[in-house]
Amino acid sequence: MSYVEMPGAQVPIRMWTDPASVEDVALRQLQNVATLPWIKGLAVMPDVHYGKGATVGSVIAMRDAVCPAAVGVDIGCGMSAVKTSLTANDLPGDLSRLRSKIEEAIPVGRGMHDSPVTPDRFHGLATAGWDDFWGRFGGVADAVKFREERAVKQMGTLGGGNHFVEVCIDSDGSVWLMLHSGSRNIGKELAEHHIGVAQKLPHNQGLVDRDLAVFVADTPQMAAYRNDLFWAQEYARNNRTLMMALLKDVVRKEFKKAKPTFEPEISCHHNYVAEERYEGMDLLVTRKGAIRAGSGEFGIIPGSMGTGSYIVKGLGNEKSFNSASHGAGRRMSRNAAKRRFSTKDLEDQTQGVECRKDSGVVDEIPGAYKPIEQVIEQQRDLVQVVAKLKQVVCVKG
């Protein structure tokens, strides 16, 4: 489908989904965002759903301003994927050992490494800029500086919620490695700190929703936020890079005879800010639950833990600010999923996947998400499908 355009106070709301399918609270959030004086465009992805301040699945372009809640609290959250030389025939019938080895190598939930994981531990991984990156931690908000030891030891860890590590097979039988994670709790604390700062600024006092508070250009508050924002985005990318290195090590050890090799990694943020130019204007584009899909750019759009995912190539549609969805998108809250589904439902919906099937992950059940095929179909003018993947191992946070 192409987009549907709805009227908004300052800008039209371009929606790559049927507005009737969007929950009322999310529609109100979109209308609220469209009232912001600084907004220059709003694109809505097919996986849109309610979020804090701004919906998940929205792309907001502003001039000389940025809204921290429109980035998402897990700054830099995103995906990485890599195609391997392994095929489905190389995989054992029982994948429980592989899953266990992944869980041993990559801490999940609130877990962290006993000692820091650094890029010099891995052959071929770039080490340039690593010391400079950590040196810049001293310049982030005082409110989180004391978290440095935890931030260091959490580098290369998965986290919880909807984060995952997967081993997948594509339609041709090739094995892929894929993971989803962010800036761990350090990005969340930075985001919440700056949202609190923004809410107290005079220019934000008349907003329809205080969670939509913004920073404006050429102010010390904007400078401080940009510094912490871009550091956290880099943290998230480094985190995924190190996790993928750990995952590759597991695969090398478990499949020594096959001597696996790996193609170049695909990596994309889906909670972040980028400086981009549209219609002759330099804009700050926030993607909250959306990926960049510039012409020829590779991206990853995952489904739920039982349905599979897509590798895509962007078509460069400027109406969406060169963006596409970040996944299937939730169709019910975590609490609603826990009330509606049982562990038996989880077992039924994740048949053929080596994964947790206990009450702790019922909120991540496939039935709590929108159908990924429908989400892909609704954005055929935004991305081209390159590969469809089906997970056979899923490690949840």
Annotated binding-site residue numbers: 74, 162-166, 180, 270-271, 302-305, 309, 326-329, 396
Binding-site positions for GMP read: 162-166, 270-271, 302-305, 309, 326-329, 396
8-state DSSP, 262: B
Nearest partner of 394 among 339, 333, 341, 351, judged by Cα:
351
Under DSSP, is residue 362 helix (H, G, I), strand (E, B) or coil? helix
CA distance 232 to 97: 34
Q: Please measure the distance between the N-terminal and C-terminal CA atoms of the chain and give it in whole angstroms.
A: 34
Sequence ranges of the binding site for Mn(2+): 74, 163, 180, 270
Q: What's the CA gap between 16 and 29, in Å, rounded? A: 16
Annotation marks residue 326 as catalytic: yes
Please, are residues 229 and 71 in contact by the beta-carbon 8 Å criterion? yes
Task: Specify which residues 179 forms β-bridges with.
Answer: 80, 165
User: Would you tell me how many other CB atoms lie within 10 Å of the CB of residue 28?
Assistant: 14
Query: 278: which strand partners?
Result: 281
CA angle 266, 236, 379 (to 5 degrees): 50
166: burial class by Cβ within 10 Å (0-12, 13-18, 19+)?
A: buried
Q: From the candidates 49, 193, 269, 326, which is the catalytic residue?
A: 326
DSSP per-residue string spanning 269-316: ESEEEEEEEETTEEEEEEEESEEE--TT-EEEEE--TTT-EEEEEE--
CA-CA distance, 77 to 60, in Å (whole number)? Answer: 17
Active site residues: 326
